[in-house]
Structure 1
Amino acid sequence: MRIAWTGGISQGKETAMSHETQGELRARAIEWHIRLRDGDDATWEAFAEWLAEDRRHADAYEEVESADQELDPLLPHVVIREAADDDSRFEDATPYEPPSRSRWWTWGAGGAIAASILLAVVLFPATGSDRYEVVTAPGERQVVALDATTEVTLNGGTRMTFDRKDPRFASLASGEAYFKVRHDEANPFRLIVGDNIVEDAGTIFNVVHTAGEVRVAVAEGKIVYNPGRAAVALDAGEALVDRRGAARIDVEDVPAQAVGSWKSGSLVYSSAPLSQVAEDIGRTLGIRIDVSPAVGMRPFSGTIVLDGSGVAQFERLSPALDVVIRKRDDTWVMTAR
């Protein structure tokens, strides 16, 4: 069934294409469906705004709608489990009961939904019910302990998936995370990053996943990037950048002690493009920074020590970065002097 865009908040809006991958689009569509099953009016309004942001969001729902038509008879057997810090929340898990179709056509006390929407019923197979997602807001950090000797620290604006029954699995959909991994040669830890795999070999490492690239740096031990195909091995003090569409993966030396330095409030760079510097600052401080193409590829070398003053310090970085930094609505803009 096609999603019809009629009136409401989507009417008259220009929809901009986001930089989300197809996998990220599908994951967000699934996430929204979970939130909506018990969503209040504010949740439904936010959902309609998400649809209006990018026409591909509607396409993601059409994809799962097709699956819904075929799998609808299985609904009584579907169990949905959400993330928690202990397994006790799963003890009373019950089969999922989809909301009535009439609720999907109304908003609040009988008001019309902003866009005419037929929501997909998203089915989670029982075999995948132990996977859960952890999402941090920009500027927030969270530590996830996978077992007694393996933990992951998520930087702000990060989305990851873990498996309660498999502590040797993790997936980084977007953002940045720092890994302290217990090595097990017989059962190596594997991180899925988009279409790529990072496999540990007794390791402390940091990974950044953005729309345009994957960056991996090793502080201790060793990792193998994409084992079994175009494998790239990194030792402590080495880093790689895998840019989308590039013919090769760039490998460089980095100070091992600087890997994951964001955890202690320092950002260390050696000839990094200002676009990357701005992205890292925005992720850590929880602000949005747009970088002018005129300065985006300009290299920066140095250490930025965050002093806890937040956006006030960002404004003071203008001379050090040799740029002009201004506030425009809810976005910071970095341009040439």
Structure 2
Amino acid sequence: MIRAIVRTDPLTAEDAAAEWLLRREAGHDIERDPGFVAWRDGAVEHAKAWGHATALWDLVDGPVADDPLFAALRRDALQARPQRPAWTIAAIAAAVVVGVALVAVPWIRDMFDGRSLVAPQPSSASTYASGEVPETIALADGSRVTLAANAAIAVDDQTGRRAVRLLRGEAYFSVVHDAGRPFEVAAGGRTITDLGTEFDVRLDDGAITVTLAKGAVALPPAGGSGQALLLVRPGQQVTAAPGRADRVGQADLAEALAWRKPLLDFSSTPLSEAAAAVNRYGGGRVGILDPSVAAIRISGQYRAGDPVRFARSVADAYGLKVRMAADGAAEIVAR
């Protein structure tokens, strides 16, 4: 299932940082919240405001009265009233910042059970996250993004730009090209620009791997100075990590994109039925002519869309062999 989060009333960086900070203090694991990650990584001023907020939270006894974040917290606290039961958790921690002890304000303390918490999502982008299986998202311009399992992106759909930020995991982009409005994907501090293409981006501990499937993409150098790296041949792949030179190579495209094809899970399934299931996904055909071979029951997970690999895997596991027929079918036969 895809979840979309949209905020239509953007906050200042200081106000947004204050809301996220206070939500964190209320016990929410914001580091796992795609909305928070999208906001924090979406702009330099957001990251600075967040760093400032967390530092300020530990130093509230210092000379911070003129600080814009302090002002945001204080403004929220002073606007709070007991007759506003739906007021957010911000008032609770903001009261601490302005010197109001919780023990002296029972109506605020009573709200701390979280029942009135309104989850802030301070981001001007729409955030999409996949669950345990890949999900495909259709963007407004006709482009499509397929998220791998447990991946997330933020889509800038409010400023007229075609910009996506990969927040975690891996995603495959099938882009409708528009020379007047370049499609950009930001990940790991780098930006990939579409030149009419399909490509895959994986984010792993700050490093990114970009694999070209069709067309071409450009990857500007780290720091923004110098000549952009162009990928123009299907299967070309670049891995970029902070503090290291970009590595360019040629990937096995089928292997690199195998996650896009569903896994077929068989449990004591007759081989004839398993072969029929594999054949429904195309990419060739598995053939079984021997009834005794067709009756063999198999178990395991196999990637759909690659009948030849399925046939060879089954043959290796069950003491059979594969014979390629004249029509291209991968026939599984007895040894």
TM-score range, shorter chain: 0.3 to 0.5
Task: Report the TM-score, using the length of structure 2 for normalisation.
Answer: 0.47
Which of 1 and 2 has greater Rg?
A: 2
